[in-house]
DNA sequence: GATGAATGAGCTTTCATTCAT
DNA sequence: AATGAATGAAAGCTCATTCAT
């Protein structure tokens, strides 16, 4: 009769502590012993749950991105209309990144690692989130076009651009030591793009407000 | 009688070969011995020119970004007007990234490393290029506003957004295995932003052309 | 109500599966987990029957050699006269080694281990079989001398030589990838020794037959 | 200008000390650190000369057997006739084994390892010595037959038997804690075989002497 | 009795850096 | 200036053994 412990719960616990250590020290500087110590378990125990350090790294990223996807999905589903979904996505991104600011540099390391390793699971995990965001963005874009808010646009290209911009803004935020408010940057971004895509009628309605935002900057 | 060798030239030679090795294998997987072998010199010789592996890494990044800055500066200076400068910057970015596609993942590693290391020189070097691009973008934005092409906009915020978008598109390009043409993505980006910023007169002039680009996507 | 299991039977079962694993992978490469898996029991269960991996190794060897001794004893006891006993021993050895050819390298590991470990039980177990074979050989030698087949010879020295030769031939057989028929090698050995020990009268009787065997080799 | 050190000499020095450590503790119990300490060098230095611990093990065995082969070759070449060559080989074997008695158990470990590892170099090295001894034995046997000392015999089978007997006697000597004099055992072996192989004329000449040796045992 | 989750000592191997030549 | 032999700290991972259930 084995001890009544939830293997999944323990696994999650390890991932949580590993995320802390990885976030603080980076992948290469984090030692398995550090993680074990922080998780208050033996070094060997980690290997009962993860075959290698690399697998643990993947699990940390996976947990992070799964949370991210869940958060957005939840928020978006609660929105009554397309325009508020746009805001919900923006807010989710900002909130999420800010709440995990310390872990942010780890993203870069993960991406870099994904591009080097032979293990295809890394790029696959990245693709999953990208696909999730792309599908979300495409549907939303089509809704906005159909509703007459947006002019005709290639939904896939636009969704990818949106995602790319988000990553770029996030990257700038991290590399500049988070010296500007992330939410302001996202709002500014939205104003520029909004103005670009708005259909003539919608533009007439909103141009004054968006124009003043352009002038204000972040 | 020692051979008459230019210390600076030899230094550059080491950096060049180090860049190749780092690009192929990544920072952590690249061994000083590999670099020495590729550069056809003794392992100890590298240390006559660089105190540590980290310093060499910095030198590689520095050389890369200096080239990048020079290229853009050269191209922009050759442009007669603001609108062609916009194209020149876009083309330079695309061309540069594409010509060094193999080295691209190294950028991520560099950024990740810069965010971890105690050595401030890394973030400083990053900032230098960012400042260079920001200044360029701000001046150009102001020119476009003054010339009546662009509506009023906070030049700094817009320049940063432009830079961020470039990074984001580049990131997407790399992470998706360079599965789409980078130049098309940059052109699409320009169309969206252009439509957003164009002043009413300019918009009237260009809206048809830009609108069709939106529909085409990448 | 626990299942009615014979502790001794379970112990034997573990030894049997351990022998398989040890034989396949060698002592150091065999993991307790492998053995438990093959025996279809929990890892901890092995420790209910054996204090250490080393003890289990000893048990495997013990079982093997006990079987060997039983086999020889049985065969020899069934023989009506000394000469047929000689054949019985030879056949038993050949048969036994051949039937366990896969396990043969393990013998070497066992002997090597016995010579290193502090645990005296290993050398003791080896000695037991050696003593068994020596006694058997000495009695047989004396019988052959008394019956007039053999010339006068120091029975102990001769018995040990016989045992040593068997081990040596077996060793050669194993190290040469079992590339020659073991039985032929044993027969050849017997011819050489036979010719050496035969008393004049017996020699006259058998010399032609043995001489032709010498010429044929193996 | 590199330091003037003889790489081959240093390599031999490492092998010598590794042989000591391996002999004392066995392969698995010997740690690279132990060897480095005994050789009075850094642990990493060993890896400048040997890719793995396994390679070092092979080098130790190779050195040992090369010495053995040289010794026998030298002694045999110095002999004027076939009969004295027989004695020379026997004496060389005895002397060699005795002088390296401490290293003897390592042989077993080496053989065991050779039978397990994927690296074919191990069995190849074993085969080289076996072939050397076989060729030597075959030539000698033929000489003895041609000279009329020996009766007709398959030279190859007899040479292999001789080698096998030597190994077996050595094995017994080691496993019995070297409790009997090795030279006496080899002499006894020779008497038995000699009596078996001698041609009638030679037998008449030597039978008394050999017969008394048989009675004396070891 | 049976189990397997937990453990941590201990291993081989790597590699940035040094420094004598 | 150039070299490469020497180094040893360090790290990921293994696995025999324990013990709470």
C150 beta partners: C198
- Whether the pLDDT of residue C84 is over 80: the answer is yes
Instruction: Give the CATH number, domain containing residue A33.
Output: 1.10.10.60
pLDDT given for residue A204 in this prediction:
81
Q: Which parts of C71-217 are beta strand (E)?
A: none
- pLDDT tens per residue across span D28-85: 999 999 999 999 999 999 999 999 999 999 999 999 999 999 999 999 999 998 889 9
Nucleotide with minimal C1' distance from the CA of A56 is F12
Whether residues D192 and C194 touch (CB distance < 8 A) is answered with: no
Confidence band for C72, pLDDT divided at 50, 70 and 90: very high
A171 and B CB contact within 8 Å: yes
Nearest CA in chain B to A213: B153
Nucleotide with minimal C1' distance from the CA of B44 is F3
- Parent domain of B135: 53-216
pLDDT given for residue D58 in this prediction:
97
**Contact residues on chain C for D108, CB-CB shorter than 8 A:** 108-109, 111-112, 115
User: Which residue is nearest to the C1' sugar atom of E21, using CA?
Assistant: D3
Q: Are A85 and A133 in contact (CB under 8 A)?
A: no
Read off the pLDDT of each residue in D75-102 and give the average, rounded to a whole number: 90
Q: Are B125 and B65 in contact (CB under 8 A)?
A: yes
User: Which residue is nearest to the C1' sugar atom of E7, using CA?
Assistant: A42
Same domain, A72 and A163: yes
Same domain, B108 and B44: no
Q: For residue C38, say whether its CB is under 7 Å from any atom of strand E.
A: no
The label of the residue with tokens 């150009």 reads B140
Confidence band for C8, pLDDT divided at 50, 70 and 90: confident
More confident residue, C74 or A5: C74
pLDDT given for residue A205 in this prediction:
80
Residues of chain B with pLDDT under 70: 1-5, 214, 217-218
Taking the alpha carbons at both ends of chain A, their separation in whole angstroms is: 61
CA distance A215 to C12: 86
Same domain, A57 and A39: no
Q: Which chains touch C (3 or more CB pairs under 8 A)?
A: D
Same domain, B25 and B100: no
- Helix D121-146 crosses helix D82-99 at what angle (to 10 degrees)? 150
Q: Which residues between 17 and 36 in chain D have a beta carbon less than 8 angstroms from any beta carbon of chain C?
A: 25-26, 28-29
pLDDT given for residue D72 in this prediction:
94
- Whether the pLDDT of residue D152 is over 60: the answer is yes
Q: Which residues between 108 and 127 in chain B have a beta carbon less than 8 angstroms from any beta carbon of chain A?
A: 108-109, 111-112, 114-116, 123, 126-127
Confidence band for D196, pLDDT divided at 50, 70 and 90: confident
Residue B149's SS3 state is coil
Same domain, D47 and D124: no
Q: Which of B34, B51, B68 is the last residue in one of the domains?
A: B51
CA distance D103 to A182: 71
Same domain, B79 and B130: yes
Q: Which parts of A72-187 are beta strand (E)?
A: none
Same domain, A61 and A92: yes
Nearest CA in chain B to A122: B175
- pLDDT tens per residue across span A22-34: 999 999 999 999 9
pLDDT given for residue A150 in this prediction:
84
Whether residues B161 and A188 touch (CB distance < 8 A) is answered with: yes
Same domain, A202 and A154: yes
pLDDT given for residue C1 in this prediction:
41
- Measure B72 CA to nearest chain A CA, in Å: 20
Report the distance from CA of residue D35 to the C1' of nucleotide E19 in Å, as an integer.
25
- Helix B7-25 crosses helix B104-116 at what angle (to 10 degrees)? 100
CA distance B137 to B160: 8
- Whether the pLDDT of residue D179 is over 50: the answer is yes
Confidence band for D5, pLDDT divided at 50, 70 and 90: low
Q: Which of A13, A32, A51 is the last residue in one of the domains?
A: A51
Same domain, A35 and A108: no
More confident residue, D162 or C217: D162
In the predicted model, what is the mean pLDDT of chain A? 89
pLDDT given for residue A10 in this prediction:
94
- Whether the pLDDT of residue A3 is over 90: the answer is no
Confidence band for A5, pLDDT divided at 50, 70 and 90: low
Tokens of C87: 């054949």
Question: How many domains is chain A built from?
Answer: 2
Residue A199's SS3 state is coil
Question: Given C108, C109, C218, which is nearest D157 (Cβ)?
Answer: C218
pLDDT given for residue A153 in this prediction:
86
The DSSP symbol for B103 reads G
Confidence band for A72, pLDDT divided at 50, 70 and 90: very high
Nucleotide with minimal C1' distance from the CA of B54 is E16
Confidence band for C206, pLDDT divided at 50, 70 and 90: confident
pLDDT given for residue C25 in this prediction:
94
Same domain, D102 and D155: yes
The label of the residue with tokens 């922080």 reads A38
Residue from A190, A217, A218 whose CB has the most chain B CBs within 10 Å, to mutate = A217
D63 and C CB contact within 8 Å: no
Same domain, D190 and D103: yes
Residue B150's SS3 state is strand
- Measure D115 CA to nearest chain C CA, in Å: 7
Same domain, C68 and C37: no
Instruction: Give the CATH number, domain containing residue B114.
Output: 1.10.357.10
Nearest CA in chain A to B163: A168
Nearest CA-CA partner of B180 in B217, B137, B132? B217
Read off the pLDDT of each residue in D200-213 and give the average, rounded to a whole number: 80
């Amino acid at each position: 009769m084995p001890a009544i412990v939830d293997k999944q719960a323990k696994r999650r616990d390890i991932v949580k502590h590993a995320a802390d250590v990885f976030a603080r020290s980076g992948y290469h500087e984090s030692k398995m012993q550090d993680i074990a110590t922080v998780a208050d378990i033996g070094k060997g125990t980690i290997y009962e749950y993860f075959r290698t350090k690399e697998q643990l790294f993947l699990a940390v990223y996976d947990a992070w991105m799964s949370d991210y996807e869940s958060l957005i999905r939840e928020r978006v589903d609660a929105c009554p209309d397309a325009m508020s979904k746009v805001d919900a996505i923006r807010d989710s991104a900002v909130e999420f990144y800010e709440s995990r600011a310390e872990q942010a540099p780890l993203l870069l390391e993960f991406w870099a690692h994904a591009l080097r390793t032979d293990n295809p699971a890394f790029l696959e995990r990245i693709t999953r989130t990208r696909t999730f965001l792309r599908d979300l963005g495409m549907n939303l874009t089509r809704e906005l076009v159909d509703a007459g808010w947006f002019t005709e646009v290639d939904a896939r290209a636009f969704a990818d651009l949106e995602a790319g911009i988000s990553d770029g803004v996030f990257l700038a935020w991290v590399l500049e030591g988070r010296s500007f408010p992330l939410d302001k940057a996202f709002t500014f971004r939205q104003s520029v793009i909004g103005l670009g895509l708005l259909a003539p009628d919608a533009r007439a309605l909103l141009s004054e407000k968006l124009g003043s935002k352009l002038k204000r900057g972040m």
